[in-house]
Amino acid sequence: MQVSSKILFLAAIMPGLNLPAEPLHDNATSTNLMVQAMMVKAEIRREGGPGLMLADRAYLVAGTNRFAFLVPPELRLQVVDQRRVQLFTADYSRLLTVKVLDRPSPGTPQLDVNLSREHVLKEYPGAKILSQSAPTVCGQEGLGFEFEWIADGKLARRSRVVLAGTSAGMLELSVTSSPEQFESALPGFNTLLMTLVASEFGGKLKVIPISGLL
């Protein structure tokens, strides 16, 4: 389901903003409360301050769940469906995806290695897992899988998927490119992982000022 062709808003704001629990925009209506609660909305805001470089930060809202992260240079953002946004280069040679997997519950969701591996293999049939890692996301240890697979039955792709339990729900974060360009795609993905913040249970989001990230 296509939520929107592209939602890109640009605004100058002060760093260290604490967002309220209300949605950014309330244009979507649905009698299905579960679908409405999980529908992802997104915007990009340009942030900075005296003596600081300007940077673009993406803000995502799924019901009362909120997330934010710095957008790597040269990447564009679009909402793909109810739970997923993508960031991509103009030539689509690099693709980053943020997907909300479930609604939050009090506490941080625990990750099971076997179930996480099964989840990845189900989403990428025929994938050959090359390595496993445990990157830190939102202050918690996540699970990462790097693998190669064939897209559309003919295109060789290399991906890294990180499953992360946060206070605002489980996320699936991924980067995909050709095997030859994969290493050059990783810095942007690492920016996403390192700058991602999630709201507390109930919707309060505390954003780290740009000065604290540089």
Domains of the chain in start order, with CATH, are 12-212 (3.40.1000.10)
Largest CA distance in the chain: 51
> How much is the pLDDT for 211?
67
Strand partners of residue 159? 147, 176
Count Cα neighbours of 113 within 13 Å in the Cβ-side half-sphere: 4
Higher pLDDT, 16 or 83: 83
Cα–Cα dist 83/9, whole Å: 19
> How much is the pLDDT for 48?
79
Q: What is the DSSP letter of 47?
A: E
* Contact predicate 129/163, CB 8 Å: no
Q: Is the pLDDT of residue 194 over 70?
A: yes
How many C-beta atoms surround the C-beta of residue 72 within 10 A?
Answer: 19
Higher pLDDT, 54 or 210: 54
Mean pLDDT of 64-92: 91
Mean pLDDT of 66-95: 92
Phi, psi of 81, rounded to the nearest 5 degrees: -155, -165
> How much is the pLDDT for 37?
42
Higher pLDDT, 79 or 16: 79
If pLDDT is split at 50, 70 and 90, which confidence band does 181 have?
very high
* Contact predicate 129/148, CB 8 Å: no
Residues 120-150 have pLDDT tens digits of 999 999 999 999 999 999 999 999 999 999 9
33, 53, 137, 161 from 190: Cα distances, Å? 34, 19, 10, 12
If pLDDT is split at 50, 70 and 90, which confidence band does 87 have?
very high
Residues 5-63 have pLDDT tens digits of 232 222 222 223 333 333 333 333 322 223 334 588 999 999 877 777 788 999 999 88
**Whole-structure pTM over 0.95, yes or no?**
no
For residue 204, with 0-12 CB atoms within 10 Å meaning exposed, 13-18 middle and 19 or more buried, which class applies? Answer: middle
Q: Is the pLDDT of residue 191 over 90?
A: yes
If pLDDT is split at 50, 70 and 90, which confidence band does 108 have?
low
